[in-house]
Structure 1
Amino acid sequence: MMFRPAGYSDSDEDSNFGYDFVYSKPSEPKPKRSYSPPKVTENFDDVLYNAVNDGRLDEVKRVLERDNYFVTGCLRHGWPLLLLACGEAQFEIVRFLLEEKRVDVNQAWMLRTALMAACESSRDPVDVYKVAILLLEFGAVINCKDNYGMTPLMFAIKNGHTEVVKLIIDQASLEATDNEGFTALFHAVNNHRTEIVEMLLKAGAATDVINRRGFTPKQEAEFKGYLDIVNLFPAAEDAYDIPAKYLYYSNYKDISQGEGEEEMPGYSQEIGLLLFGMNSERHLKTFAKENFDLMRFLTLTDEKLKELGFILPFERKKILHGLLKFHQHDWKKGSLRKFPKDHKYDCFDIFEILCNHLKQLTIMQASLIYVDNMMSSTSIKFDPQYKPELVECFENVNQLDNTIAGLEEALGRIEAATKVKPVLLVDADSIPSVGKSWLTSAVKVLFLSGVVSLLVYRKLKH
């Protein structure tokens, strides 16, 4: 006979592990649930993604009518709808989004724009070209960079969209570099785009830029063995040393006179600083070769820049925009050289103040010439309410002119009075006739006095 371990019942029924005070209720049958299949919801992300890839505009419109979020929101595949349509070069979808949905043409995702997406597209170059034209018509920005420093021009070159390069090369910055130090010319060389390299060189792309590897575009072509591209580069130019007057002030004549004593100072040292502020410092050599001074530089026009060899409109616009901003600055008295009230002035201080005033007058004159060049006298129509102010302005100018004339006269008198002359030199021609007769009489008197004194001395001695 078998016995169960202590605490267990001999009965066949469950006793809840031997705890007599616990009783389990008999399990009730669970009600059966009716099965209903889950509702199938449409995945708009996938629908839109496939519709754009296939170029189905009607499907895109249907989804956007049901959920307007996707007009500007990102798909789970990554890009917003506009960038996806540009990347697939779907012209009709892009036009629908820009014209009817009013999507911003410069909408960016991770600094990537629609124009960049189009230039990076691997679709038919003809379709890419049509999309690029459409984006530019709606105001797409050409000179912008993504996270890697790539521009639309670089993307177009890298993917071989030659027609797009021709379309934007005039408005694109050829000096822009990516994070590796590559300009557009570097990308054309590295991707063996011979035709594009030729276009960039004709457009004036810099050939002396060095990337992070320490190579120039020509050296990159030589390293890769692209001899057809190597032969496109011009022969090495003779080294040109920029004159010192464009680099720094060396002596007092740089701020007081020009090459001649009667000429105005050129202030050529300021041109390099202005070009640096315009991101065009590499063009200093061009202006130095033409012997530009500050006055001539501040009054540049688009026609003059063309004559100097600035082919690309983008390069000219950078300089002209910088000049416009310069002349728009209000002149302030703080621009003049000042000293503390208790300062003891010496000749050098006065000289410095006068030279500073002369420089400010030169800049103001350049601004007036610039305004005169920008505004035709036949097109100027002053409001009658400004007539009293104009009359007062002319009166102030006349008063200033008279003051300057009086100052010039006073300086002439001071110079004549303080002109250094030899002390021991007696110029007989410069002595007046009255002075000559008086001098003759004085000599005679002194001579007679001497004779009389001599006779008296001898008499007394005797």
Structure 2
Amino acid sequence: MLCGPDFSDSEDSLFSDDCDYDNFKEKVKSCRYAPERPAAPLTDEQKRIRRLNDLFVAISAGNTVSVVEALNDELDVNADLRDGWTPILLCVSYGKLELALELVDRGADVRAARHGVTALMMACNCPDSTSPFEKTLAIAKLLTEKGADVNATDRKRMTALMFASNSGNLGAVRYILPLADRNAVDNQRWSALTWAVSSNRTEVVKFLLDEGFDPHLQDVRGQTPLDMAKNFNFEEILNLFPPDKEDVVYEVVDKNRCSFEDHFSRLDIDERPRFFLDVCDMLQATGCRSLVPLFYEKNVGLYEFLHMSDSDLKELGVALPFQRHRIRFGLFKFYKHPYHPKSIHRVAPGGRYSNLDVSIQLLSAVKQALAMDASLAYLMKSAHIEEMAEKDATRLRDTLKSIRIKIRGCELIAKRLVPKIDRWDRRAEPPDLITGESPSCRSRWWTKTAFVLSGACLILYLKTR
């Protein structure tokens, strides 16, 4: 049930009775002139808490004199100052080297930890803006020499080496690495290298890479330190990583994207077009994409690739037998499909024959002839000619020679067509994109003009009559 506003709190009702206000004034007066009561004496526990708080403040401020006085006053050097902070933990977290030396001499527990984070981890995690890395390195050495565990882990399984890498303390990383488990990873499978990359610590990343840390170690999300550097666009760190295999493959493929002129304009009479992109496609189809940089470095063209034997691949540098088997099996499947004339690019009857059609048809014809030539070379390698009849061997050699002559002919025709195509392109008048006019538009304009003039002349002629 809805109710209306309550008028009991209106201004009239609030100020209708002044007796409460008068009583309030009397109470204020009585409080103002009331004699101060003596403070109750502190209990021993309250005194102890106050002394611990004073020691907490003195350590945070780096007041060595006050700290020594408090410890001389029978305070426990390993006491819990506040929320699990012992004097040594608080001291090293601020990078107070002089206090650390004093506390360790007085028997401070160098293995102390707060929520699993040890004194050594806190010293390694101290930023340079709070205390110079030279001091925190000296503290790390002090704690380690006195028995601190360099391989201890916190609740997230982070180690002192990871904390040092994250903070960028290269000196601490250099000191701890020989003593620590270099293969340790935390709960998200981050190594010391991953932590250094995530915090953009270039010097630490370079040192860890030189020490052999794996840049391709995947975390629980499948991300590597290299992926992280790419995502955050840490260019200096990216330059430190070895070239990624996939990046090299893409670079090679992009470098070999060439035009019609690139295929033919600089070829000698005895050269064949490389058609390296087709080699990349076939390597991809056989599951050997990682070999693209090797074949590019060795300058392997399509012709050489199509008739490679196992010994050829081994000599090239394909060391793994399963990769050689994949390529050989792929070539075998390739030759199971015979050559067909429909593979050549054709133009429909009555269709317009452009320069692009000429280029495509020539490229296609040369590529098919090259594949046929390679197939014969493949057969020559696979078959033993001495076991053939002399007549068959002679016919095979003649066929091979004939196809090679055809390839040279196609190359010559291509070379002659290139300048002609260039002249045809220059002869065509380009459209005027600014005014929207083209040769055909201008011809239609003259047609319209002639039609209008003819009509005008006809009207004048009729009027004169």
Q: TM-score range by the shorter chain?
A: 0.3 to 0.5
Q: Higher helix share goes to which structure? A: 2
Task: Normalising by structure 1, report the TM-score.
Answer: 0.41
